[in-house]
Amino acid sequence: MIPSNLRTGAGFWQLGAFVALVLLPKSAAASDFRFDRDTVGFANATVFEYREGHPYLRQREKGEPKRYTRRCFVMCRTTMQFQKFARFDPDSPPLDDNALAARIRKVTRRAAWEKPLPAYQRVVFPGYANLRAMSKVRREVVRANIGLGWPTYFRFGNFRMLFQHDSKYHEETHANLNATLARGELFVGFLTTYPRLSINHAVLVYKQEPASQNGGIDRYLAYDPNHPESPRELTWSSRDRAFAYQKDWDFIGGFVHVFQIYGKRLQ
């Protein structure tokens, strides 16, 4: 017979192992996210070029190939979907274009707000180590199967920008951002300066940076589909109770409204 104290100890060990296994998928999404591995390896191009924050229609040069535009929402959503529903098998031979397209659609047609799948249920992509590697080598197949850009203009959640502008809403969004990252999840944000048109864009926030000496400023790392080369920075000022986004060639920088998208249905 097994002594009762050994049986009890074994029972507690099994319970602890079970709890750890249950909690692991919930915290694995954002905490394990790496910019150089888990983001799309090509860029979204802007329809407009910006001069001092004012948009001008970008002219297409003669002989220039058609640009891949209006996909910032799509590329952020795709990044989240692959993080939740896909896994990679670099030791197996890659698929042909048709088979690869079918598997990409199997991932991107799942609702982005669903819970992550366990490894054995995920869609497998052989021949590549990660999303960035696959999207670079098989760029055209990935582009053709992650979704169209124009439907994102008519998303139900976009209408929040017409009326939710007050500081209380921004504070609630900031709290929700922190809670989302604390749960190990990814936060896709719709950035806008409506009614101005200096930015109308989506980014994926995946990490809060360590607190700096500049008190009252929270800093976050974001994947910006316009900039696949390196992370961008979103900040929150507790003094101003407002978000700001990093200045670059396609945004004058400064204050932005932030609305979470793909966190739940109709968002």
Tens digits of residue pLDDT in 86-133: 999 999 999 999 999 999 999 999 999 999 999 999 999 999 999 999
pLDDT of amino acid 106 = 98
Q: Give 30's pLDDT tier (boundaries 50, 70, 90).
A: low
Whether 175 and 138 share a structural domain: no
Domain boundary among 151, 186, 204: 151
pTM of the model as a whole: 0.82
Instruction: Indicate the number of domains in the chain.
Output: 2
Average pLDDT over residues 206-221: 85
Cis peptide before 116 (omega within 30 of 0): no
Range of the domain at 61: 37-151
- Residue finishing a domain among 92, 118, 151: 151
Same domain, residue pair 135 and 169: no
A 10 A CB-CB count for 170 gives 21
Whether 24 is in a domain gets the answer: no
Asked whether residue 135 is assigned to any structural domain, the reply reads: yes
Question: What does the alpha-carbon distance between residue 17 and residue 8 come to, in Å, rounded to a whole number?
Answer: 14
Name the residue type at position 227.
H
Name the residue with higher pLDDT: 255 or 14: 255
- Token output for 42: 């090509």
Measuring CA to CA, which residue among 67, 80, 77 is closest to residue 151?
Answer: 77
Nearest to 82 by CA among 23, 42, 43, 135: 135
258 pLDDT exceeds 60? yes
**One domain for residues 158 and 253:** yes
The answer to whether residues 141 and 60 belong to one domain is yes
Structure tokens at 153: 């203009």
β-strand pairing of 217-223 with 200-208: antiparallel
With beta carbons less than 8 A apart as the criterion, state whether 261 and 202 touch: yes
Kindly state whether residue 4 falls inside one of the protein's structural domains.
no
pLDDT per residue as tens digits for the range 169-185? 899 999 999 999 999 99
In this structure, the answer to whether residues 140 and 203 fall within a common structural domain is no
